[in-house]
C-alpha cells in the first residue's frame, strides 16, 4: 500500500531521522504540522505524545542528556512553536544536542499574519545554536542532515528546523543525500601546550575545576586518568557532577554558590586552576575578581569564545579533550597540598544531625542516593531541593544527574525524567522535584501514565517557593513576597488521578520504609516528603561575594 504512495516532505523527515538513528521523538500535533503527523503514521519512529510542548522539549533534553543521543521534539506553528522556546533556551544554556521540528503555515501564507503564524525562525535566533526555515522541498534533506551535524559538532546545542505545510506535503525524490560535512567550522588556534606544561611543573597548589563539557566530550576516562596521574585535587560544577568518581579521595565536591566549604576554600587558595569544559559561570565564581585570586589558569575547552570571556587564561588548550588531556597528564609532587585538601574535606564534611521529628531533606536525599540501584538517573527541578540533591546525592556519571544548570528552569524535572526513562527503559529514573516546580509541568504525569513509565518522583514539599523564600529571609529583611504555597493541591490525590501510586510522609521515622517502598514499586510512584518550610540550603555564598565568605547558618 505504502509503495504506491509518493514520498512527501513529511515522509522524508522521518527517513532522515531514521538515518540518524532516531528511534523516539516527543511532540504535540496541530494544524500546520499535520502532514508530518500523517507521515509519522507510516514511520518506524516512535512518537511520545506529551501534554504540553514545553514538556516535549524537556523530554527531548532529558533523552539527550541521559543517552548521549540527539533529542528530537516536534510542535505545530504559532503557540506550539513558542511553547518550545523555554526548552530550547535550556538546551542552549547547557549545550544539549536537540533537534526541534516546527510546522509553519504554507509558504504562500507566510508573512500575512496567518492563523497560528509566528516568526519562530526569528524567535529562534537567541535560543538556538542554529536554525533553518525550509522554503524549497529540494533543500529539506540537506537541511535536516545539517541540523543533526550542527547539534552534535563542537560545543553541542539545539537546532530548530521550521517547515512550512506545503513543503511537508510536497512530493520529493526518495534518494537520500549523504551526511553532509559542515562548511565554515570554527578553526581552533593551536593548544598552548608549552605554557601549560610550564605552569604544571611550577604549581604547588593546583585545583582541577571540572565542568559539564567533559561528559559532553565523552572524555570522562581521560579526565579521570588526568586526575589520577597528576594527583590534582578536584572540584566540580553542577553540570560536571559525576565526572569525577565521587569517592576519589582528592575530590572535594561541588564549588560555587552552594558548593562545599572544602571545594570553595581550596579553589580560593590554589595557585593554578585547571578549568576543563567549564565556563566560569557567575554561580561558580561568586565575585569574579576575587575568584581564585592567586591562581594562574589553564583553560581546556572546545569553544574559543569561552577563553578569556570571564577569566583570562594563562594557557588556553582548545580542542578535543580526549586528545588534549592525555597530552598534559604528568605526575606532580603536591603531597602537602593533597593532604591539606583531604583534611579540609574531612573537617568540613556534611553534618546530618538534625534535631526533632521533622524530616531533613539532605538526609533523605543521601539515603535515597545510598539505596538507589546502580546506574540510576536522577533529574531535578530548580530550587532548594535541587541544591540539596547536588550536594547530598552521589553520581558516577554526569548522564546520571540531569539538572537545569545554565537556565535554572523550574518545570524541568518531570519531563526530563520522562525523556530519560524512554531512552533508558530498564534503568531507575528518579525526579527530585519541589512543590513549586512540580506544578509547572504537572500535566506530564499524563505522559507517564500513557506510556506506563516507571518514573519515581520525590517531591520535597515545603509548601513554599523555598529558594526564593530563603533569599527573602536572608537578603530582603524577611519580607516574604509571593512565596507561600500553603494552598497546594493534595499531591497524593493528584498523582492518584493519573493512576500513579503515591504516599506522603512527614516524620523521620517514616523515611526508610517509604524509600524502600518507592524503589521496590514496579510502576510510577510519587513520594511526597513534607519538610519544615524554614530549612535553608547551606553553605551559601551571598551574591557578589568571594567564595571563601560563605554563610553556614543564619
Ligand X SMILES: Cc1ncc(C[n+]2csc(CCOP(=O)(O)OP(=O)(O)O)c2C)c(N)n1
Residues that bind another protein (CB under 8 A): 121-122, 125-126, 129-130, 132-133, 150, 182-184, 186, 303-305, 307-309
Interface of this chain with ligand X, residues 468 to 497, rule: CB under 6 A: 468
- Our answer to whether residue 53 is catalytic in this structure is yes
Closest CA to 485 of 502, 504, 469: 469
**CA torsion sign, 28 to 39 to 101 to 115?**
negative
DSSP 8-state class, residue 498: T
Binding partner at 506 among ligand X, Mg ion, another protein, none, C-beta below 5 to 8 Å by kind: none
User: Residue 361 has which C-alpha cell?
Assistant: 531533606
Binding partner at 323 among ligand X, another protein, Mg ion, none, C-beta below 5 to 8 Å by kind: none
Rounded distance between C-alpha atoms, residue 177 and residue 233, angstroms: 48
Segment near ligand X (CB under 6 A), from 145-153, 209-217, 390-398, 409-417?
409-417
Rounded distance between C-alpha atoms, residue 399 and residue 217, angstroms: 12
Angle at CA of residue 177, ends 171 and 183, nearest 5°: 125
The nearest distance, CB 486 to Mg ion, in angstroms, is 11
Out of 157, 466, 470, 495, point to the residue binding Mg ion (CB under 5 A). 466
The nearest distance, CB 407 to another protein, in angstroms, is 16
Rounded distance between C-alpha atoms, residue 50 and residue 73, angstroms: 10
The helix (H) or strand (E) run that includes residue 212 is none
Task: Rank residues 126 and 343 by Cβ distance to another protein and give the closer one.
Answer: 126
- Own/partner contacts of 487-490, CB < 8 Å, gap of 24 or more, are 488/435, 488/439, 488/461, 488/463
- Our answer to whether residue 6 is catalytic in this structure is no
The nearest distance, CB 150 to another protein, in angstroms, is 6
Out of 61, 147, 241, 465, point to the residue binding ligand X (CB under 6 A). 465
Out of 237, 379, 384, 421, point to the residue binding ligand X (CB under 6 A). 384
How far does Cα 546 stand from its chain's mean position? 26
Out of 460, 505, 514, 550, point to the residue binding ligand X (CB under 6 A). 460
Residue 528 binds ligand X, judged by CB under 6 A: no
Segment near ligand X (CB under 6 A), from 43-51, 271-279, 331-339, 377-385?
377-385
> Strands 525-530 and 456-461, how do they pair?
parallel
Task: Rank residues 337 and 360 by Cβ distance to ligand X and give the closer one.
Answer: 360
DSSP-derived 3-state class of residue 267: helix
- Our answer to whether residue 228 is catalytic in this structure is no
Task: Rank residues 254 and 313 by Cβ distance to another protein and give the closer one.
Answer: 313
* The one catalytic residue among 254, 440, 467, 550: 467
User: Residue 83 has which C-alpha cell?
Assistant: 511553547
- Our answer to whether residue 482 is catalytic in this structure is no
DSSP 397-455: SGGGEE---SS--TT-HHHHHHHHHHHSTTS-EEEEEEHHHHGGGGGGHHHHHHTT---
- Our answer to whether residue 467 is catalytic in this structure is yes
Neighbours of 79 (CB within 10 A): 12
> Quick check: bond before 184 cis, omega within 30?
no
Residue span 435-464 as binding mask against Mg ion, x where in contact by CB under 5 A, dash where not: xx-------------------------x-x
Rounded distance between C-alpha atoms, residue 328 and residue 468, angstroms: 43
* The one catalytic residue among 54, 117, 165, 306: 165
Residue with cell 565554515: 184
Residue 436 binds ligand X, judged by CB under 6 A: yes
Residue 434 binds Mg ion, judged by CB under 5 A: yes
Contacts of 343 (CB under 8 A, 6+ apart): none
Rounded distance between C-alpha atoms, residue 245 and residue 107, angstroms: 53
* The one catalytic residue among 116, 338, 342, 443: 116
Out of 83, 268, 409, 547, point to the residue binding ligand X (CB under 6 A). 409
* The one catalytic residue among 5, 6, 23, 115: 115
* The one catalytic residue among 26, 53, 129, 412: 53
User: Residue 444 has which C-alpha cell?
Assistant: 506530564
Residue 462 binds ligand X, judged by CB under 6 A: yes
Interface of this chain with ligand X, residues 149 to 168, rule: CB under 6 A: none
Residue 382 binds ligand X, judged by CB under 6 A: yes
Binding partner at 410 among ligand X, Mg ion, another protein, none, C-beta below 5 to 8 Å by kind: ligand X
Contacts of 90 (CB under 8 A, 6+ apart): 57, 58, 61, 96, 404, 406, 407, 409, 412
Residue 435 binds ligand X, judged by CB under 6 A: yes
Task: Tell me the residue nearest to Mg ion as measured from the CB.
Answer: 434
Residue 413 binds Mg ion, judged by CB under 5 A: no
Could you list the residues that contact Mg ion (CB under 5 A)?
434-436, 462, 464, 466
Q: Which residues are catalytic?
A: 53, 115-116, 165, 467
Could you list the residues that contact ligand X (CB under 6 A)?
381-385, 408-411, 434-437, 460, 462, 464-468
Amino acid at each position: 500500500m505504502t509503495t504506491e504512495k509518493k514520498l512527501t516532505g513529511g515522509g522524508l523527515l522521518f527517513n532522515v531521522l531514521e538515518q540518524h538513528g532516531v528511534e523516539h521523538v516527543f511532540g504535540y500535533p496541530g494544524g500546520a504540522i499535520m502532514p508530518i503527523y500523517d507521515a509519522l503514521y507510516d514511520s518506524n519512529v516512535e512518537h511520545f505524545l506529551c501534554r504540553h510542548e514545553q514538556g516535549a522539549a524537556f523530554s527531548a533534553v532529558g533523552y539527550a542528556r541521559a543517552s548521549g543521543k540527539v533529542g528530537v521534539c516536534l510542535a505545530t506553528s504559532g503557540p506550539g512553536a513558542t511553547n518550545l522556546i523555554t526548552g530550547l533556551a535550556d538546551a542552549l544554556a547547557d549545550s544539549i544536542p536537540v533537534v526541534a521540528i516546527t510546522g509553519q503555515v504554507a509558504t504562500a501564507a507566510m508573512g500575512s499574519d496567518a492563523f497560528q503564524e509566528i516568526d519562530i525562525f526569528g524567535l529562534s535566533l537567541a535560543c538556538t545554536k542554529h536554525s533553518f526555515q525550509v522554503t524549497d522541498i529540494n533543500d529539506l534533506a540537506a537541511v535536516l542532515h545539517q541540523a543533526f551535524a550542527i547539534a552534535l559538532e563542537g560545543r553541542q546545542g539545539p537546532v530548530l528546523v521550521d517547515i512550512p505545510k506545503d513543503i511537508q506535503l510536497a512530493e520529493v525524490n526518495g534518494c537520500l543525500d549523504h551526511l553532509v560535512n559542515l562548511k565554515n567550522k570554527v578553526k581552533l588556534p593551536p593548544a598552548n601546550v608549552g605554557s601549560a606544561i610550564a605552569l604544571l611543573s611550577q604549581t604547588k597548589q593546583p585545583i582541577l575545576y571540572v565542568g559539564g563539557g567533559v561528559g559532553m566530550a565523552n572524555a570522562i576516562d581521560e579526565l579521570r586518568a588526568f586526575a589520577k596521574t597528576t594527583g590534582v585535587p578536584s572540584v566540580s560544577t553542577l553540570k560536571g557532577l559525576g565526572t569525577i568518581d565521587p569517592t576519589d579521595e582528592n575530590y572535594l565536591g561541588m564549588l560555587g554558590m552552594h558548593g562545599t566549604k572544602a571545594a570553595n576554600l581550596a579553589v580560593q587558595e590554589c595557585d593554578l586552576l585547571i578549568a576543563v569544559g567549564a565556563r566560569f559561570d557567575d554561580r561558580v565564581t561568586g565575585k569574579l575578581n576575587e575568584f581564585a585570586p592567586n591562581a594562574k589558569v589553564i583553560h581546556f575547552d572546545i569553544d574559543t569564545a569561552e577563553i578569556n570571556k570571564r577569566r583570562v587564561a594563562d594557557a588556553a588548550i582548545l580542542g578535543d579533550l580526549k586528545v588534549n588531556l592525555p597530552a598534559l597528564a604528568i605526575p606532580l609532587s603536591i603531597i602537602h597540598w593533597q593532604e591539606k585538601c583531604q583534611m579540609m574535606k574531612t573537617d568540613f564534611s556534611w553534618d546530618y544531625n538534625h534535631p526533632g521529628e521533622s524530616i531533613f531533606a539532605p538526609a533523605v536525599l543521601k539515603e535515597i542516593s545510598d539505596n538507589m540501584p546502580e546506574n540510576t538517573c536522577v533529574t531535578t527541578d530548580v530550587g532548594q531541593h535541587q541544591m540539596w540533591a547536588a550536594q547530598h546525592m552521589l553520581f558516577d556519571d554526569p548522564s546520571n544527574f540531569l539538572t537545569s544548570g545554565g537556565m535554572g528552569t523550574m518545570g524541568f524535572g518531570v519531563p526530563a525524567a520522562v525523556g530519560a526513562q524512554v531512552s533508558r527503559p530498564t534503568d531507575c529514573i528518579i525526579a527530585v522535584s519541589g512543590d513549586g516546580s512540580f506544578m509547572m509541568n504537572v500535566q506530564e504525569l499524563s505522559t507517564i501514565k500513557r506510556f506506563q513509565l516507571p518514573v519515581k518522583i520525590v517531591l520535597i514539599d515545603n509548601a513554599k517557593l523555598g529558594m526564593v523564600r530563603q533569599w527573602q529571609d536572608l537578603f530582603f529583611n524577611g519580607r516574604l513576597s509571593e512565596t507561600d504555597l500553603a494552598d497546594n493541591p493534595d499531591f497524593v490525590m493528584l498523582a492518584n488521578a493519573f493512576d500513579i501510586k503515591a504516599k506522603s510522609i512527614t516524620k523521620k521515622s517514616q523515611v526508610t520504609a517509604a524509600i524502600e517502598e518507592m524503589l521496590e514499586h514496579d510502576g510510577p510512584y510519587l513520594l511526597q516528603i513534607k519538610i519544615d518550610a524554614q530549612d535553608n540550603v547551606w553553605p551559601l555564598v551571598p551574591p557578589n561575594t568571594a567564595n571563601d565568605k560563605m554563610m553556614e547558618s543564619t
